[in-house]
Amino acid sequence: MNDKAVKEILELKDCMLINHENWRKGQALFNAIYRIHPEIANEIRATDIDPFHSDDRIEACLEFLRNRKE
């Protein structure tokens, strides 16, 4: 995935955090991925890089996105 696509996901994540103050960063990141690329979200769901339940997985998830071939 190119830098522009990752940046789009991160910008949506930031907007989601503003609108959903009770969400963690990992939840917002996963939901942003799902909104823009549901097929990728389904690919990472329930894996060791799924950030929804653990913010500790955010960096691994972002690395996966950056290295993913489209």
Whole-structure pTM value? 0.96
Confidence of residue 57 (pLDDT cuts 50, 70, 90): very high
Tell me the pLDDT tens digit for each residue of 6-18: 999 999 999 999 9
Domain containing 18 equals: 3-67
Q: How many domains does the chain have?
A: 1
- Name the H helices within 20-68: 25-36, 38-44, 58-67
User: Would you call 47 helix, strand, or coil by DSSP?
Assistant: coil
Using pLDDT thresholds of 50, 70 and 90, give the confidence band for residue 70: confident
Please, what is the Cα angle at 2 between 58 and 27, to 5 degrees? 25
Asked if pLDDT for residue 23 goes beyond 80, the answer is yes
